[in-house]
A and B are shown apart, each in its own frame.
Chain A
């Protein structure tokens, strides 16, 4: 990968002010990724603090019900803080500490990445500030309080659409004002180089584990790996070690919201065009003039108008396939997994479950589909009740 590019995608489209700190980060990361002591320390944190390896669970009832491929669930929902986000956050926070930074800042949508960052900062004794769209602070008030419990300061963002993309803008602006002691913990495989590559590396553990666990359980590779995609970090982690295995289908599930033929969607690859924002060239939901579109999904974690540059590349070269999944399909899958397997998945991950339900029957009984269950659904219970018109008194 030359100059932080995946084909034409990626790059460093940021204000000149940030270039020095990005170069410093790249240099530090290139050093520590090959540093045995750093990797050992990170592995210890992942295993003993975050509870890795996460299990690869054979969903027997779902398999029987769908009547096709054997379904395995990669249980990232069982990680500490409830999702895959902790993998990247522990990596970046440890790196920040090694670089001598004393403060971390982060954006968050639903709050999962913010909670994970606040957690890692508390563990490592760093100051933490989280930027969250005002609208999201209201929708996810409990997560705001959770971050505060962990010692973080949460700033509601009132610019633009007051959601995730604006939180990213605001965190970038904050970083520019204080770069010496501060690291920006980006929450997905997005942003300027080296973030997409670095976040990819920190989540690669997901596919490494899947491969090893499946080897023990079945002695072979899966036919397909399915994951939901907003920015695309859990999908990149689940795809990573299978990219070279050409017979393994890689499928990313985008949030279609009300449907890709409506404006209320966040299915970037399906409806977007190539553009440049948040430091990267990639696909974005935008108008003919390049103004970024307000996007929508029931899932705040997938409610982002862009996608990581490596996904854009995998899409263009035909190595991965990206499919839209609507709110209705995701909610139905959320309930299905709860009742069928006794697992309440995050509404984000439910998009991947929904697509597996559609295609499992097209595979033979000796074939395997792995769904990356990126997070748990506790945070979504109130929203699902609202969606179904059920009143819940907390």
Chain B
């Protein structure tokens, strides 16, 4: 069973694997877990990340230029798993999984202790590309919902695993969040997690109905600024947002 249970509002920071380098990514992941993160989302960098903002694109470019590969990230997660059970999910593009080999990729996820996958270029209509292999290895294939797909939310959530990942409109409101959750609840009781760039703990007000928050790019921005020296800054950010 790969569904996640959140007892309280989960804080899920996002970093790009290998930015600025693998060693720092490992230190950052450990520091965020120790600072109270409930789950860590790690981006496996792709050369052509069409769904990413400029901030995350640049982080991916830095990581690839520094030789980051998914094999190195599997090894890193294995190391972390020696002492920590905090859920870790990967975000990456279909091509990286397809070219690596779907079975081999999922098997390595399972062995390394990756709990779920977010694949931003795999919409509901193409889900069968990865879903059977994910299920075989117990990796949650986490579905994305956008404001433009509001009517599709219940279809997307139906039978999904892990949690539902909602990317809100720029002018997010409490009503928007409640509406999308009630649409999802027509078919699914999965936790609903919202992507948001928390700047202060008070920002969570409109997100009250959500089960968790994925930090969109705030942590990536801190890393872009401080590079190898980012660890204490990132830990401080996570501690501050974790109320």
Cβ proximity bits B88-99 to A, threshold 8 Å, 1 near / 0 not: 000001111111
In the complex, chain B residues whose CB is within 8 Å of the CB of A172: 50
The distance in angstroms between the C-alpha atoms of A17 and B122, with both chains bound, is: 11
Instruction: Please tell me which one of the listed residues B61, B98, B125, B143 contacts residue A160 in the complex, with CB atoms under 8 A apart.
Output: B61
The distance in angstroms between the C-alpha atoms of A275 and B99, with both chains bound, is: 6
The distance in angstroms between the C-alpha atoms of A273 and B94, with both chains bound, is: 15
Tell me the chain B residues, 39-85 only, with Cβ under 8 Å from chain A.
Answer: 46-51, 54, 57, 61, 64, 69-70
- Segment with Cβ contacts to A, from B20-28, B145-153, B230-238: B145-153
Smallest CB separation, B10 vs chain A (Å): 22
Known: A15-B51, A289-B100. A276 touches B123 (CB 8 A): no
Cβ of A288 within 8 Å of any chain B Cβ, yes or no, is: yes
Interface size of B as a range: 35 or more
Tell me the chain B residues, 84-120 only, with Cβ under 8 Å from chain A.
Answer: 93-100, 120
Residue of A nearest to B99 (CB): A290
Cβ of A12 within 8 Å of any chain B Cβ, yes or no, is: yes
Smallest CB separation, B231 vs chain A (Å): 27
Majority-rule SS of B interface residues: helix
The distance in angstroms between the C-alpha atoms of A275 and B96, with both chains bound, is: 9
User: Are A277 and B48 touching (Cβ within 8 A)?
Assistant: yes
Known: A276-B95, A289-B69, A290-B98. A15 touches B123 (CB 8 A): yes
User: Are A275 and B149 touching (Cβ within 8 A)?
Assistant: no
Of residues B49, B54, B123, which shows the largest number of chain A Cβ atoms within 10 Å of its Cβ?
A: B123
Instruction: Please tell me which one of the listed residues B49, B61, B97, B152 contacts residue A19 in the complex, with CB atoms under 8 A apart.
Output: B152
In the complex, chain B residues whose CB is within 8 Å of the CB of A273: 99
User: Are B94 and A292 touching (Cβ within 8 A)?
Assistant: no
The distance in angstroms between the C-alpha atoms of A113 and B97, with both chains bound, is: 32
Tell me the chain A residues, 270-290 only, with Cβ under 8 Å from chain B.
Answer: 273-279, 281, 284, 286, 288-290
The distance in angstroms between the C-alpha atoms of A19 and B124, with both chains bound, is: 9
In the complex, chain A residues whose CB is within 8 Å of the CB of B49: 169
Cβ of B156 within 8 Å of any chain A Cβ, yes or no, is: yes
Smallest CB separation, B66 vs chain A (Å): 13
In the complex, chain A residues whose CB is within 8 Å of the CB of B149: 16-17, 19-20
In the complex, chain B residues whose CB is within 8 Å of the CB of A11: 126, 129
Cβ of A13 within 8 Å of any chain B Cβ, yes or no, is: yes
Tell me the chain A residues, 3-17 only, with Cβ under 8 Å from chain B.
Answer: 3, 11-17
Majority-rule SS of A interface residues: mixed
Cβ of B223 within 8 Å of any chain A Cβ, yes or no, is: no
Cβ of A320 within 8 Å of any chain B Cβ, yes or no, is: no
Cβ of A179 within 8 Å of any chain B Cβ, yes or no, is: yes
In the complex, chain B residues whose CB is within 8 Å of the CB of A160: 47-48, 57, 61
Cβ of B140 within 8 Å of any chain A Cβ, yes or no, is: no
In the complex, chain B residues whose CB is within 8 Å of the CB of A166: 48
In the complex, chain B residues whose CB is within 8 Å of the CB of A15: 50-51, 120-121, 123, 144, 146
In the complex, chain A residues whose CB is within 8 Å of the CB of B148: 17, 19-21, 179
User: Are A16 and B61 touching (Cβ within 8 A)?
Assistant: no
Interface size of A as a range: 35 or more
Cβ of A159 within 8 Å of any chain B Cβ, yes or no, is: yes
Tell me the chain B residues, 1-47 only, with Cβ under 8 Å from chain A.
Answer: 46-47
In the complex, chain B residues whose CB is within 8 Å of the CB of A279: 121
Cβ of A27 within 8 Å of any chain B Cβ, yes or no, is: no
Residue of A nearest to B44 (CB): A289
User: Are A292 and B146 touching (Cβ within 8 A)?
Assistant: no
User: Are A286 and B95 touching (Cβ within 8 A)?
Assistant: yes
In the complex, chain A residues whose CB is within 8 Å of the CB of B46: 290-291
User: Are A17 and B146 touching (Cβ within 8 A)?
Assistant: yes
Cβ of A61 within 8 Å of any chain B Cβ, yes or no, is: no
The distance in angstroms between the C-alpha atoms of A47 and B54, with both chains bound, is: 43
Smallest CB separation, A263 vs chain B (Å): 15
In the complex, chain A residues whose CB is within 8 Å of the CB of B146: 15-17
User: Are B122 and A159 touching (Cβ within 8 A)?
Assistant: no
Smallest CB separation, A275 vs chain B (Å): 5
User: Are A16 and B156 touching (Cβ within 8 A)?
Assistant: yes
Of residues B47, B120, B125, B126, which shows the largest number of chain A Cβ atoms within 10 Å of its Cβ?
A: B47
In the complex, chain B residues whose CB is within 8 Å of the CB of A3: 125
In the complex, chain A residues whose CB is within 8 Å of the CB of B126: 11-13
Cβ proximity bits A311-338 to B, threshold 8 Å, 1 near / 0 not: 0000000000000000000000000000
Cβ of A386 within 8 Å of any chain B Cβ, yes or no, is: no
In the complex, chain A residues whose CB is within 8 Å of the CB of B96: 289-291
Binding site for A on B (CB under 8 A): 46-51, 54, 57, 61, 64, 69-70, 93-100, 120-126, 129, 143-146, 148-149, 152, 156, 167
Known contacts A12-B123, A12-B126, A179-B148; 4 further A-B pairs (Cβ under 8 A): A20-B148, A169-B50, A275-B99, A278-B48
The 8 lowest CB-CB distance pairs between A and B, nearest first, are A290-B99, A290-B95, A291-B47, A17-B146, A290-B96, A276-B95, A15-B51, A16-B123
List 7 A-B pairs, Cβ < 8 Å.
A15-B120, A16-B144, A277-B95, A290-B97, A291-B64, A291-B96, A292-B95
